Amino acid sequence: MRKMMRRVLATAVATFCMASAATADNTVWSQPTIPFHVVGNIYYVGTKGLSAYLITSGGDAILLDGTLKNTASLVEASIVALGFKLSDIKIIVTSHAHYDHVAGVAQIKRDSGAKLHAIAADRWALENGLHDGETSYRRGTFPPVKVDHVLADGDVVTLGDISMQATLTPGHTPGCTTWSTSVTEAGRALKVVFPCSVTVAGNKLFANKRYPGIVGDFEVSFDRLAAMKADVVLPAHPEFADVLGRAARRDAGDKDAFVDPDLLGQIVQKSRATFQKELARQKARQ
């Protein structure tokens, strides 16, 4: 199986390299990695630096995030390498409308025929291909993609026996969405949370004309995430929860490598402290 995965990915990597010999993105974002099973019906199909998760139900699947435009083919190759077809993807959902997570969605949506479900506050950005809000850097653009089903906070997306709840945790983007679901692993029920980022990431916290409520939204999101319970945490950037490292430990024999009930709280606590420092820094520059 792993040899077959490597062959499929090698073909995708060659195509990727010919299409984009040099990229301005963070290098690790564009590096391929072997796809792997996480827990229950969840698989990792992203790159070394950008997560994409396939959640399966029989022959159907939901895809969470699509990574970069130039790495969409790597995500597709990873899905195929795991033994699935692109047409198995019936629904695509997103964590937030930044180019590094959704630029590949248009291609994967087109190639699979899937429907895109997204929370209302990120709809404009997705359909206009532009990060919404004012930042200290040039806003990233990406291929626009039509939202087929608009979600509200608390809505549940279902497919077969999959139920994924959308919790609005804004700040990083107006529609930053934390997804949660339950899986069974080795006879044990596990709560899985895919937290949306709560990093400032260059957002203007003061005089942000496109997003004037950004500070209040961040504060609400910290509280919301801190109140959530998670046995398994799977973020949009894998390093935030050492997703690849945990996979390696699991393969080495640690069957509970992904199970860490304290992790989400630790991530929130660290992110809140970093946010407060950045808020003070930006305030002092006013």
Give 63-104 pLDDT, tens digit per residue: 999 999 999 999 999 999 999 999 999 999 999 999 999 999
- C-alpha to C-alpha distance for 278 and 204, rounded to whole angstroms: 10
Question: What pTM did the predictor assign?
Answer: 0.91
State whether residue 92 is helix, strand or coil.
Answer: strand
Element holding 213 (H helix, E strand) = none
Q: How far is CA 130 from CA 46, 127, 141, 143, in A?
A: 22, 8, 5, 9
Q: What tens digit of pLDDT does each residue of 114-132 get?
A: 999 999 999 999 999 998 8
Entry field: residues in the chain: 286
Are 233 and 198 a contacting pair, CB within 8 Å? no
